[in-house]
Amino acid sequence: MIKFYQRLILLLLFVGSISSIVIYFTVDIHTLRHLDSFQPWSLALAFVFLIIGLYFDGIRLMHLVSISGEKIRLIEAVHVVFGNYFLALLTPGAAGGAVAQVMFLRKAGVPTGKATVLIVVRTLLSIIFLVLCLPVIFYYDPEIMPGLSDDILTICFASLIAIILGLIWLFRTSLPYYWLVALTKKFSHRNRRRIFLLYRDVRGAVFMLSSSPLSMGKVFIESAVSLLALYSVVPILFMGMGITVNIPQIMGRMILLNILLYFAPTPGGSGIAEGGFVLLFSGFLPSGTVGIVAVAWRIIVEYLPFVIGLYFTIKVFGHRFLANHVK
């Protein structure tokens, strides 16, 4: 338990330091004047969209569990969602988030094997949606990738769909298994076991994705609504600053940033999220405010759910869970 509190204190210091550095290097003499014009209604609306995003995140999980032949209640889905935020922010690369989701699903009565596959499917659906958005983003925001013509974007979009469908077909065959057997011959037993466990989970996820197209299409739409609602917090904060918002452009850059955060090595993407936000949005905001808005965004969509996730984790599993799983 002492190790958990040590890690929690280190995390708070790390997050606090990053937030302070971002604000320090972005404020100027105009900051207070611009903040005086901030409209409090935007904060209330941002929390409304946060709730919508989290609600649809829980609903899509319930529907995924139903597709697998199991059943969970909404409150149990809420536990999974917030548990993910909690352990993701405590572990490098957000790896603990997957562990938390499996643990909460097991507590809700879902077998471990199914729970693992469900989490893989949940992640794949989010990534597939974000990747499919890329050509649209480049179309509405040509400054990000100058030189891309409409024809190239059309080809890229068609290629993405073909690649996704091709991978689904491939993993429904035994070819990847034989390739892995050949490629991992010289690997240690431990590493081979990890690779084949990952292959098993991904293959199970692919079979689930393709087993019920209509139901999975509904879950895909719910995934899109959840992600877009969460990303909408940023343009809402921008409107609170009195800015005329180009919603497709801002949402597109939020999607790009969050794709990057899936592969961030820091706990919960801390540091990379704030730095990427400043890089992508400094030209949209009044002078001296981009760092403050970046920190406000992180507090609303990451740190508040983290605190709620900590509460639910202790409530459901007790302090012993923290001592055993947060080392």
**DSSP string across 8-55:** HHHHHHHHHHHHHHHHHTT--TTHHHHHHT--THHHHHHHHHHHHHHH
pLDDT, one tens digit per residue, over 198-217 is 888 888 888 877 778 888 89
Indicate the range of 78-82, 97-101, 141-145, 190-194 predicted with least confidence. Answer: 141-145
In percent, the amount of the chain with pLDDT more than 70 equals: 92
CB 122 within 8 A of CB 60: yes
* Amino acid letter, residue 320: R
pLDDT, one tens digit per residue, over 63-84 is 999 988 889 999 999 999 999 9
The model's pTM is: 0.86
Please report where in the chains the tokens 């509405």 appear, as a residue. 140
Supply 155's token pair: 């080809």
Q: Which of 239, 261, 264, 263 is nearest to 250 (CA)?
A: 239
CB 269 within 8 A of CB 17: no
Supply 55's token pair: 């609600």
CA 254 to mean position of chain CA atoms = 11
Report which secondary-structure segment, H or E, holds 308. Answer: helix 304-317
- pLDDT tier at 299 (50, 70, 90 boundaries)? very high
- For 232, residues 6+ apart whose C-beta sits below 8 A from its C-beta are 49, 53, 251
- For 102, residues 6+ apart whose C-beta sits below 8 A from its C-beta are 112, 115, 116, 119
C-alpha angle with apex 105: 316 to 12, nearest 5 degrees?
Answer: 55
